[in-house]
Chain A
Amino acid sequence: MKDRKYVVALIALVIVYVFLEMRKGESLDWTASFHNRHSIPFGTMATHDLMKDMLSDSAVESSYETVYEIATEGEERNLLILAERIAFSDDELEKLLDYVNRGKTVIIGGKEFLGGLRDSLEFTPLVTDPLLTYDLEAIQENLAGESKQLITTDLGGVAKSYSFSSVATTSAILSYNEDNFNVLAKNEAEQPVLLEYKGSKGRLILTTMPLALTNYFVLNEETTSFASSVLSLFPEDEPVLHVEYYQLGRLESQTPLRVVLANRSLRWGMFILLFTLLIFIFFESKRRQRIIPLIDPMKNLSVEFVETLGRLYYRQKDHRKLATKRVTYWKDFVRRKYNLRTDNLSNQFTEDLAKKSGLDIKEIELLLVSINHVEAGNEISLEELMLMEKQLNAFYGIE
């Protein structure tokens, strides 16, 4: 077993690798997912818990559909929309404003607001440090560091201030139509970060600090009450729907098989097919008998040799030479088979040959014409060579 040391070495390598990987510890994931089942810093697991506490156990659920779909499906719940970028299409916007007009509360948090929302509500958002929220190391340093922003809220006539790491406060509203909005919170630069739209029956609340509603800041003692105060804008005892579509998309299985998997009958067929394939691989790949190594059989190359020689002669195009060879062979054949002398191809010879071979004397005469033609030392053309081949085949009885 000289293979054993390789196996041992391989196993040792794997163990060392696993050990090193374990020592490294798990690295934190600083992506902003806003997903209700993520416990990473910028997920919203804690936020959902907080909402459940606040809204007296009326369930908070998540949806992965667009506002348009939600509104058309006859949804009645209040909406929480969190995403890094909020960009509604015109149809969505129309449905959204319509939804708010039906007396619902919608809180929209986004670092950037693009598209129709800005124009129809007339405000201009601003992102001060766009890179900061995308560079993971920068986020960590920032959170650990002393760079803070004071956010002052003005809710229900009570002013409170919270100090946020500047990760959460990279964007704000630069300018807005004061007729349309009530400002609920500002940053140090007196720019609004939380405002309420006035022109509708329900409540439409915009915030440029979606991160303030994520696990990190919800669980952080200094900032947790900011989150709860924002969430308390939802009316109590009404369920909330967290629309995650704008950050995560559909979040359903992306596989092209989803249609197949959706139907029970097809799903069965699919799984049986896959299972059968697996069985096929495992069972049909088994040997039925031992390996038989390839041994090349010896080849008889004499025919190839003759063909090569033939080609060489053919290149020289010396038809006469070849015809002479063939005549020699023919004479030998006649001597051997019919015991006739071939030194004088006279009429007597022709008769004898016809009698002995039983062939038509005319054919033999024609053959002898060709042969004498060769014997006389004339040039032989290609056609004559072919003709001779025909005549000889008839003589030898080759079909």
Chain B
Amino acid sequence: MNFYRSIYLTNRFFYAAGFIIFLFVVGFAFPFVTVIAEGLFYLAIACILIDVLLLYRTKDGIQIERLCTEKFSNGDDNPIRLIIENLYPITLDLEVIDELPEQLQVRDQVFELSLTSGEVKEIHYKIRPTKRGEYAFGVVNVFISTFLSIVRRRYQLGDEKNVAVYPSFIQMRKYELLAISNQLQSFGVKKIRRIGNNMEFEQIKNYVSGDDYRKVNWKATARKNQLMVNQYQDERSQQVYSVIDKGRVMKMPFESLSLLDYAINSSLVISNIALKKGDKAGIITFQHKVNSLLPASARNMQLNLILEHLYKQKTGYKETDYSKLYITLKRKVTQRSLILLYTNFESVSALKRQLPFLRKIRQQHLLVCIFFQNTEVDKLIDSPANDIEEVYTKGIAEQLSFEKKLIVKELKAHGIHSILTPPKELSVNTINKYLELKSRGLI
């Protein structure tokens, strides 16, 4: 039974069978061909037996190991390595099918390689999960065939393994480094000219272009014979709350990642940067009611708490209720904080419904409304229309796109900051905004 389970055939088997059958049919007209066909038939039988013998005389002739991290990062490419060793005394052709987690819906991943006796090879591939949660890897199927390549033997090796897909910590690390080393220009984060000087003195440092020349320390310049400027600390220990709307509007996927997951990834990035800058970071999620609140804090373990907290978020995509959010903020968040509200408005009227609550929140906190450009609709706008119906479609698309800009204006009119961003650039734009607000001292 195990033998039957593990034995597979190649196409060559069926080609050979087809050829022999053809010869026999020809043998009907030319009897001498029948003799050849019979000879070939027995030869084929012999080859099959030899092939089976070659494949099955070695026990456990293939070793394989899957190496990957315990946690995967959502929305990013996560590397996986397969290390394969051939213990057979002969060269083998291998076909490797790794049983990927079902969430990926990948059914056609096959690696083909050839291994000489005793050789070890590695297969590298990447998977891009688009949902948080448990991902179950199965075993690794390895189909081996010899130079005869009539019969294949299947090995089922490797361990079944569960991997947790967490919010994108890869992005988190990437932006963290950039934010701390002030290299965000390369990602489009521009250095904000500092206004006001309500800052604590930190140090004197060399002048670099872009520094505020009003802060040149002339005495130090004279001493060092180089331009020196005073550097001031940013204010610290301010609270940054990432408030994530988990409602219906966040379900829409872009590049198979839902807006909610974009928001979660971005919250992680921004929380990390805030913590690094000495601020307190917290998380609030809400839909028809406030689902969870992680109080802002600057403890060492806060980032891990945030990560776990975001990982566990369940999705219901119900209708959002801003009044509940307002009440929670009023009661629980007493200190003036930066509220980064991740949500999505498709039209001005949708905004108008929520505006009273947003204005109320704004009275106590610095509110930044983050919502998304619909890149799918923008693609429509950037393509020519061929007939009148398409012109209409394009007109409507333009109107929707324009409405988003109106929403920005509307929010601005009520003193609410906003970020309108394509989903992909959410993290960068949010960091930008945070740094801008920090340096302007608005919190």
Contact = CB atoms under 8 A, between A and B. Distances in A.
Interface of A: 263-266, 268-269, 272-273, 276, 279-280, 283-284, 286, 288-290, 292-295, 297-303, 306-307, 309-311, 313-314, 322, 325-326, 328-329, 332, 336, 382, 385-386, 389, 393, 396, 398-399
Interface in B231-265: 251-254, 256, 258
A280 B392 CA distance: 55
Contact of B374 (A288, A289, A302): A302
Contacts of B143: 288
B14 A289 contact: no
Contact of B384 (A264, A272, A279, A398): A398
Interface residues of B, number: 65
A289 B138 contact: yes
B28 A288 contact: no
Given A266-B28, A306-B396, A385-B388, A329 B34 contact: no
A360 to B, nearest CB: 19
Interface in B363-396: 374, 376-377, 379-380, 382-385, 388-396
Contact of A322 (B18, B25, B391): B391
Nearest to B107: A292
B103 interface: yes
Interface string B4-17: 01011100011001
A54 B335 CA distance: 125
A290 B137 CA distance: 10
A286 B8 contact: yes
A297 B105 contact: yes
Given A310-B396, A314-B392, A300 B376 contact: yes
Contacts, number: 153
Given A298-B258, A398-B382, 12 more contacts: A265-B25, A265-B33, A268-B24, A272-B20, A272-B24, A283-B7, A284-B9, A286-B5, A290-B99, A300-B253, A314-B389, A336-B405
17 contacts: A265-B33, A266-B24, A269-B24, A289-B138, A290-B138, A290-B139, A297-B256, A300-B252, A306-B400, A310-B395, A313-B396, A314-B388, A325-B399, A328-B399, A332-B405, A385-B391, A389-B385
B105 A329 contact: no
- The majority secondary structure among interface residues of chain B is helix
B397 interface: yes
B41 interface: yes
A307 B393 contact: yes
A367 to B, nearest CB: 15
A294 B105 CA distance: 7
A313 B392 contact: yes
A388 to B, nearest CB: 8
Contact of A288 (B20, B141, B391, B393): B141
Contact of A272 (B17, B138, B254): B17
Interface string B387-419: 011111111111111100100000000000000
Given A283-B9, A326-B395, A332-B405, A276 B21 contact: yes
B436 interface: no
A382 B141 CA distance: 61
Contacts of A295: 102-103, 105
Contacts of B258: 298
B188 interface: no
A322 B388 CA distance: 11
A309 to B, nearest CB: 5
B393 A265 contact: no
Contacts of A265: 24-25, 27-28, 31, 33-34, 37
Contacts of A313: 392, 395-396
Given A292-B102, A313-B395, A389-B385, A272 B253 contact: no
Contacts of B388: 314, 382, 385-386
Nearest to A322: B395
B38 interface: yes
Contact of B97 (A288, A294, A399): A288
A280 B21 CA distance: 15
Given A297-B105, A310-B396, A398 B377 contact: no
A264 B253 contact: no
A295 B392 CA distance: 34
A329 B399 contact: yes
Contacts of A263: 28
A399 B385 CA distance: 10
A329 B401 contact: yes
